[in-house]
Amino acid sequence: MKDFDWPALMRAGIHGLRLTPEQFWGLTPAELQLMLGQGGGQAAMNRSGLEALLAVYPDNEQGERYGGE
């Protein structure tokens, strides 16, 4: 598991972003990174990515459940 510098993150979130402690602790590390401008992560899904996802998980007819139920 990645080590986090909690004091620095708390300063950035509570002091820098002016989050309440409840708001700060309600965020995931990825959400906090994004709010701090560090969310380099993955790019948005493009059309080919969507098509690949639809091939694996096709839309069902209305009322039909996954697994053939």
35 touches 27 (CB < 8 A) = yes
- What are the pLDDT digits (tens) for 44-61? 678 888 888 888 888 876
pLDDT at 24: 94
How large is the average pLDDT for residues 19-25?
A: 94
Answering whether pTM is above 0.75, one says: no
DSSP state, 15?
I
**pLDDT range class, residue 15, cuts 50, 70, 90:** very high
How many angstroms separate the CA atoms of 35 and 53, rounded?
28
